[in-house]
Amino acid sequence: MLFAYLGLYTWNLRTGVLDNAASHTGLEFAGAVLKPGEWVHRSAVDFWEQYLYLVDVRQQNERLAAQVKDLSFELAKAREEQQELLRLRALNGFSAPAEWERVGARIIAQRLGSEAALDSIMLNKGYLQGAGSNTPVVTHRGVVGRIMRAGPFTATVQLITDPASRIAVLGSASRTPGILMGTGARSELVLRFVPLNAQLEEGETLITSGLAGAYPKGLPVARIVRIEHSDISLFQTVHAVPLAGIDRLEEVLLLQRPAGPHAAFHAVETPPQAGAHTAHANATR
């Protein structure tokens, strides 16, 4: 046994086979022990890095969502400002009749409900800014109405669609006169006191006649859509629609009255209906 051990020892010294085998066996054993620990460590590191990545991604998503919300708000605001600019440019393109001045105003309230006494709107201008009683209110498309009641900083406008509204008008082509009345419906007006032989036509524009000085002459008011004849009446019934887009108003123009013979007359605040009777009387003479 001793000789065998010494021989094996001597052989190993010369060749190193046993030392190499022991070295490899030890490394494999150490590797077998350490590899599971290394896998656990790597897994833990990967999990933590993934967690931190997801947290960062979530925070980025929240920031991006907030930015999208802010940008959407800014886009909506920019679009609204663009639409407002287009409306104001259109209004600015309206040229006031000679000797009349225009003043811009915004609508701050409208008639609430169908049972309201008057078809009206409220403006952010009062008599301190030139919005006196009976001041005509228009847009670049046509007549809106006239101021019925004015305070220092706000004013109420009686729309041309109000049943008590009366406007002396002419057919733009036929020059046929008549009194344009409101019906309470914002989409329809009725032209009264038009003789049966009058040559009005569907599609013709009705303009202000300028009688009584209530409105400047020549402002577009409505377009004729239907004409009815009757065997028991001396007059036609003419249906028209407003040109000003009553349901879509946001900004309007006030036409300040010129200084002249009418100024003293209109300085006395008269109800719009009373002024309409004057226009009616003048139109039917």
Question: In tens digits, what is the pLDDT along the chain, a chain of 285 residues?
Answer: 655 655 555 655 566 555 566 555 655 544 454 455 556 667 777 777 777 778 788 888 888 888 888 888 888 888 877 777 777 777 777 777 878 888 889 999 887 445 555 678 999 999 888 888 899 999 999 999 999 999 999 999 999 999 999 999 999 999 999 999 998 877 789 999 998 888 899 999 999 998 877 899 999 999 999 998 888 888 888 999 999 988 888 899 999 875 554 444 343 334 444 444 433 334 333
Contact 153, 125 (CB under 8 A): yes
Strand partners, 156: 122, 149
CB-based burial label for 77 (10 Å; 0-12, 13-18, 19+): exposed
Distances (CA, A) of 183 to 4, 33, 160, 190, 232: 131, 97, 9, 7, 22
